[in-house]
Amino acid sequence: MPFGRLERRAAPQPMSEINITPMVDVMLVLVVILILTAPLLASALRLELPRAQGTSTTGAAAPAVTLVLDRAGQAYLGDQPLTQAQLAERLARIGASQPDTEVQLRADARVPYGRVVEVMGLAHQAGLHRLGFVAEPQPAR
């Protein structure tokens, strides 16, 4: 009487290889995101900042807003060009809502000093008394 085979088939072995295709896909997506967002992180305004000794890049604890003056004396707040009246209105709004905000002034080295003082006066009238001047560090000799 035959009852069939007495031999048993071997169970399938677990796969011990790592499938790296999903990992490669994720890494390529991250590279594409990095390539697309890197230009957006840099400011579109090109400035030649003045150089000074003793400049440091300490992080501010209070909120900060960046105010830029280009070579022509045009004011930018958040990379948006503003007229004198618009700048005064925006600074007044910021000063009313957050009076401890620091204004980081990035002025081109060729901007006339009188224009810098005008912008400083607008910030002071708006109630923003914390003013920081951004400069490039002096090159080591």
Is 68 domain-assigned?
yes
Distance CA(12)–CA(124), nearest Å, equals 78
Is 11 domain-assigned?
no
Is 126 domain-assigned?
yes
Q: What is the CATH number of the domain that holds 61?
A: 3.30.420.270
For residue 25, the model assigns a pLDDT of 94
Two structure tokens written together for 61: 């604890």
Model confidence at 29, pLDDT cuts 50, 70, 90, reads very high
What range defines the domain where residue 72 resides?
51-137
Is 19 domain-assigned?
no
What pLDDT digit, counting tens, does each position of 45-95 carry?
A: 666 666 666 656 555 466 888 899 988 889 998 888 999 999 999 999 999
Distance CA(70)–CA(112), nearest Å, equals 10
Model confidence at 121, pLDDT cuts 50, 70, 90, reads very high
Distance CA(13)–CA(100), nearest Å, equals 67
Is 28 domain-assigned?
no
On the 0-12 / 13-18 / 19+ scale of CB atoms within 10 A, 11 is exposed
The domain total for the chain is 1
Is 24 domain-assigned?
no
pTM: 0.58
Is 32 domain-assigned?
no
What pLDDT digit, counting tens, does each position of 35-51 carry?
A: 888 776 666 666 666 66
Is 4 domain-assigned?
no
For residue 93, the model assigns a pLDDT of 93
